[in-house]
């Protein structure tokens, strides 16, 4: 059976335009997929009917964080598609694409990690998008001990 969860943005934009279900959207790197990531995505899915994950590309991660992820974007995307709570995954190549995807999909709920709302990581344009989303939910990590950063620091 072919996995059809990895989609291009055009497909998701068209889906969102005709969809009557509650769309939940989140974005991130999801490097070294862990139980913390799975918990986060499970909690996000509980907030609606369809969970769309915008995966930050290798280029975007390099630009924003100054380093490349341990796993390339294709491997990270494939792993996300295996999670039952994730309905669709698309790859985001730039900060503009990140903003435009939120703007065009217009999710019922935008889910962000508590670290995304930090002033350094949340420019005014992102705050404007948050204001246009029906609901913004900020999730606190359930546990740091299973996060990628925690594992890498050990």
The answer to whether position 1 is within a domain reads no
- The parent domain of residue 114 ranges over 9-153
The answer to whether position 86 is within a domain reads yes
Identify which of 101, 83, 108 has the alpha carbon closest to the alpha carbon of residue 6: 83
pLDDT for residue 55: 97
Q: What is the CATH number of the domain that holds 146?
A: 3.40.50.620
- Report the distance separating Cα 30 and Cα 69, nearest Å: 9
From the first residue on, what is the mean pLDDT of each consecutive set of 10 residues in the chain (154 residues)?
A: 88 94 94 90 96 96 91 96 97 90 90 64 59 72 58 60
Domain count, the chain: 1
Whole-model pTM?
A: 0.86
The answer to whether position 3 is within a domain reads no
- Report the distance separating Cα 81 and Cα 67, nearest Å: 24
pLDDT for residue 129: 65
pLDDT for residue 119: 42
CB atoms within 10 A of CB 8: 9
The answer to whether position 138 is within a domain reads yes
């Amino acid at each position: 059976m072919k996995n059809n969860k990895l989609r291009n943005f055009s497909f998701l934009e068209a889906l969102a335009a005709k969809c009557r279900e509650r769309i939940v959207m989140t974005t991130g790197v999801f490097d070294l997929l862990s139980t913390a990531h799975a918990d986060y995505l499970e909690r996000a899915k509980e907030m609606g009917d369809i969970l769309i994950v915008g995966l930050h590309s290798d280029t975007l991660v390099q630009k924003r964080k100054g380093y490349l992820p341990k796993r390339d974007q294709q491997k990270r995307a494939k792993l996300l598609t295996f999670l039952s709570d994730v309905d669709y995954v698309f790859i985001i190549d730039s900060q503009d694409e990140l903003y435009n995807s939120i703007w065009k999909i217009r999710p019922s709920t935008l889910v962000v990690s508590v670290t995304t709302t930090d002033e350094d990581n949340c420019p005014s344009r992102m705050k404007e998008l948050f204001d246009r989303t029906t609901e913004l939910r900020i999730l606190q990590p359930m546990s740091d001990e299973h996060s990628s950063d925690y594992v890498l620091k050990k």
